[in-house]
Structure 1
């Protein structure tokens, strides 16, 4: 007979008392709790010691992780970590005492209740309900990049949603792409979408004559490339030289390369937009103020 700890490990770290007693025994469960191998999380639910705090909170409230808390579980990028976990309860369930949390109510499928977190598509839509457009777009882009969610599914589910945040979710679904390769790239693209700057495509491949160079965002008619530069350093002299060569090949091929840092995209979006608008206007012969 498997031990209570082994059963909990197979079930993801937590289970109901009924599930545990079925494959072990009430005596084994009680003994595991007494010796500290297992913790009682709430009435009728037990878990392994050290269970993730947010998950333990969801179980204590008898709900599921949702919104940005579910995004963290799905490993989707967030600008900030939520101060308190977001928990969604079934519509017919009343709130009860538990650890600090932001509570929501919604109809939840059985799969979400079992997993104690919302589905990937539901998580994307819930994030669009509470996050600014850029941050929600970064979540949606990353979800599509996993391959577990298609753009058609995202658009269809968004069209069927109602209530708080629907307009933002519609914008997010329309702009989302699985080709974005970083949180910062998605945030940079969101600035262009919001400003109405058209023509930029994610992950454009440029033939330089020497090689094929991929840029974060490329405007083919204007030959303007935008690069979202995160915190990463070049690390080695070889990597630094390769980056310089890549930049030089793009310039030699007639491309104007604009590089924006995290601090600029997040902290000075107006300047970023003005710089891109000016560069594109000059490259395609449009007067700066025309």
Structure 2
């Protein structure tokens, strides 16, 4: 039985340039025509053991090998590398390309012409990538408003970007496209937001004219005992708003949630719980439910002086 050909360690799992690998004598063109290798992009191959169709990092590695000098991985792909995954399945890699000539379109690659000074590019795992600050700047001014707030919230929450630094960065680039949108986004941003759906829930309420809720609010009972942290809150009215993700369905988490919910109610709080379906498909109903709770609590004259002290 013939042995499988030995795969050079450098080519075992990561994408590589066929031209460079052949020039170094690591493989031959005839070897690359075998089923052991997959062509990702023109001149870019990967060994079958390193191929994962939906692995965005693999595609970033592949696209980085095709970038012109001064280019970088950017946009949502850069955010992914910085720990913020907002990508759809099979999303193309965003490539920032300096200059005036856009490269030919290719599957799994979205090329964007960009002014890209050297200080806006760094290295991540060997890849040229836009800095977290430039990434937040780009996403906050180019995405649709809600998605822009989601992206900026997520980067701020990861603490790879600081609000003051992004504000200063924006102020130094007044003529760039989309800066008016980014100014609005910064006014809506909340670094404490812990998930994209929490951000979307908060924006629904704000856009409906409801008060801006407090994110990640700590609740204490009348004896000063910590009861729990809620996603969003109107502390004066003792209204908590919770987004319920899939992880809440796990048995242990479900039991903890039930106990916490009972403690919140005992402390005089109304708790409204919402799912992705509520936020994305029934926003008007969600807003109506929150509005009703606010009106009822306001009419009842509830405030934080009855039971428990409210703390961040």
TM range (shorter): 0.7 to 0.9
Match of 2:155 among 128, 143, 150: 143
The answer to whether the Cα contact below 8 Å between 1:54 and 1:65 also exists between their aligned partners in 2 is yes
**Are residues 156 and 16 of structure 1, via their aligned partners in 2, closer, same or farther at CA, if it must alter by over 3 Å?**
farther
Q: Which runs of 5+ in 2 are unaligned?
A: 1-6, 52-57, 301-312
Instruction: Tell me the SS of whatever aligns to 2:84.
Output: coil
Match of 2:133 among 121, 140, 144: 121
Pairwise CA distance, 1:93: 4.8
Is 2:274 aligned against 1:253?
no
Is 2:294 aligned against 1:262?
no
Query: Paired residue for 1:189?
Result: 202
Is 2:165 aligned against 1:153?
yes
1:178-212 deviation per Cα after TM superposition (whole angstroms, max 9, x unaligned)? 21222211211122232332241111000024533
**Are residues 253 and 97 of structure 1, via their aligned partners in 2, closer, same or farther at CA, if it must alter by over 3 Å?**
closer
Q: Which runs of 5+ in 1 are unaligned?
A: 21-25
Q: Quick one: distance in 2 between partners of 1:40 and 1:16?
A: 9
**Are residues 8 and 155 of structure 1, via their aligned partners in 2, closer, same or farther at CA, if it must alter by over 3 Å?**
farther
1:102-155 deviation per Cα after TM superposition (whole angstroms, max 9, x unaligned)? 321112233348733222122222222332322222221221122221111122
The answer to whether the Cα contact below 8 Å between 1:199 and 1:220 also exists between their aligned partners in 2 is no
Match of 2:97 among 84, 89, 100: 89
1:14-163 equivalence runs, <5 A: 29-32=24-27, 49=47, 50=50, 52-62=58-68, 63-78=71-86, 80-81=88-89, 83-96=91-104, 98-99=106-107, 101-110=109-118, 111-112=121-122, 115-161=127-173, 162-163=175-176
Q: Quick one: distance in 2 between partners of 1:97 and 1:218?
A: 46
The answer to whether the Cα contact below 8 Å between 2:11 and 2:46 also exists between their aligned partners in 1 is yes
The answer to whether the Cα contact below 8 Å between 2:99 and 2:113 also exists between their aligned partners in 1 is yes
Match of 2:177 among 125, 141, 164: 164
Q: Quick one: distance in 2 between partners of 1:73 and 1:140?
A: 15
1:51-79 deviation per Cα after TM superposition (whole angstroms, max 9, x unaligned)? 71244235335343222232233331427
Q: Quick one: distance in 2 between partners of 1:218 and 1:94?
A: 47
**Are residues 16 and 74 of structure 1, via their aligned partners in 2, closer, same or farther at CA, if it must alter by over 3 Å?**
farther
Instruction: Tell me the SS of whatever aligns to 2:130.
Output: coil
The answer to whether the Cα contact below 8 Å between 2:59 and 2:108 also exists between their aligned partners in 1 is no
Instruction: Tell me the SS of whatever aligns to 1:129.
Output: helix
**Are residues 141 and 16 of structure 1, via their aligned partners in 2, closer, same or farther at CA, if it must alter by over 3 Å?**
farther
How many residue pairs get aligned? The number is 274
